[in-house]
Structure 1
Amino acid sequence: MTGAQNAAMTRLAAIVFALLVGLTARAGEIALRPSARLTPGAPVTLGDVATLTGDDAAALAPTALDVRRGSDGAAEITVEDVRAALDAAGVNWGRLTLRGSVCAVRAAEPTPATPDAPRRARSRDEPAAVDLAGPPTVRTRLARLVARLYGVTPDNLRLRFDERDAEFLSTPESGRRIEIQPAATPNASRFSAVVWLYAGDELLGSRSVRVDVRVRRPVVVLTRALDRGDAVTPDAVRSETLWVEPAGSAMVGAVEDAVGAVARKRLDAGAILRAEALEPPIVVRRGELVTVHCVSGGVVVKAKARAARDGRAGERLELRMDGSKKTFVARVVAPGRAVVNLDAPASLAEAAP
Structure 2
Amino acid sequence: MRIANANPLPVFRRVLLAALLLPGVAAASEPEQNTAERITEAADRFLKSFSQKQAQKGREVEYEIGSVDNRLSLNRCPQPLEVEFAGDPKRSTRSTLLVSCEGDRPWRIFLSATVRIQVDGWVAERPISRGERLSSNMLRSSQVVLNEQRRSGFRDAEHMIGMQARRTIRAGTAITPRMLEKPLAVERGDRVVISAGNDVFSITTRGKAERSGRVGEQIPVVNENSGRRIRGRITEPGRVAIN
After TM superposition, the score normalised by the length of structure 2 is 0.62
SS at match of 1:218: strand
| Cα distance change of structure 1 residues 190 and 291 upon mapping to structure 2, 3 Å threshold | farther
Cα distance between partner residues in 2 of 1:326 and 1:239: 47
| Cα distance change of structure 1 residues 142 and 152 upon mapping to structure 2, 3 Å threshold | same
SS at match of 2:129: coil
SS at match of 1:240: strand
Residues 90 and 147, structure 2, Cα contact 8 Å, conserved in 1: no
SS at match of 2:178: helix
Residues 291 and 302, structure 1, Cα contact 8 Å, conserved in 2: no
After TM superposition, the score normalised by the length of structure 1 is 0.45
Residue 138 of structure 2 is aligned to residue 233 of structure 1: no
| Cα distance change of structure 1 residues 215 and 289 upon mapping to structure 2, 3 Å threshold | same
Structure with greater contact order relative to length (CA < 8 Å, sep ≥ 6):
2
Aligned residues: 197
The Cα of 1:284 is off from its aligned counterpart by 1.0
5+ residue gaps, structure 1, are: 1-135, 343-353
The aligned runs of 1:262-273 (5 Å cut-off) are 262-273=164-175
5+ residue gaps, structure 2, are: 1-40
Residue 202 of structure 2 is aligned to residue 301 of structure 1: yes
Residues 91 and 147, structure 2, Cα contact 8 Å, conserved in 1: no
Q: Which has the larger radius of gyration?
A: 2
Aligned to 2:230: 327
Residues 122 and 144, structure 2, Cα contact 8 Å, conserved in 1: no
Residues 179 and 197, structure 1, Cα contact 8 Å, conserved in 2: no
Aligned to 1:220: 122
SS at match of 1:235: helix
Q: Which runs of 4+ in 1 moved over 6 A?
A: 165-168
Residue 188 of structure 2 is aligned to residue 188 of structure 1: no
In structure 1, which of residues 279, 287, 311 is the aligned counterpart of residue 181 of structure 2?
A: 279
Residues 59 and 117, structure 2, Cα contact 8 Å, conserved in 1: no
The aligned runs of 1:60-79 (5 Å cut-off) are none
The Cα of 1:313 is off from its aligned counterpart by 2.8
Give identity over the alignment, percent: 18
Cα distance between partner residues in 2 of 1:197 and 1:295: 68
SS at match of 1:207: strand
| Cα distance change of structure 1 residues 190 and 259 upon mapping to structure 2, 3 Å threshold | same
The Cα of 1:310 is off from its aligned counterpart by 1.3
Residues 249 and 275, structure 1, Cα contact 8 Å, conserved in 2: yes
Aligned to 1:290: 192
Cα distance between partner residues in 1 of 2:210 and 2:56: 44
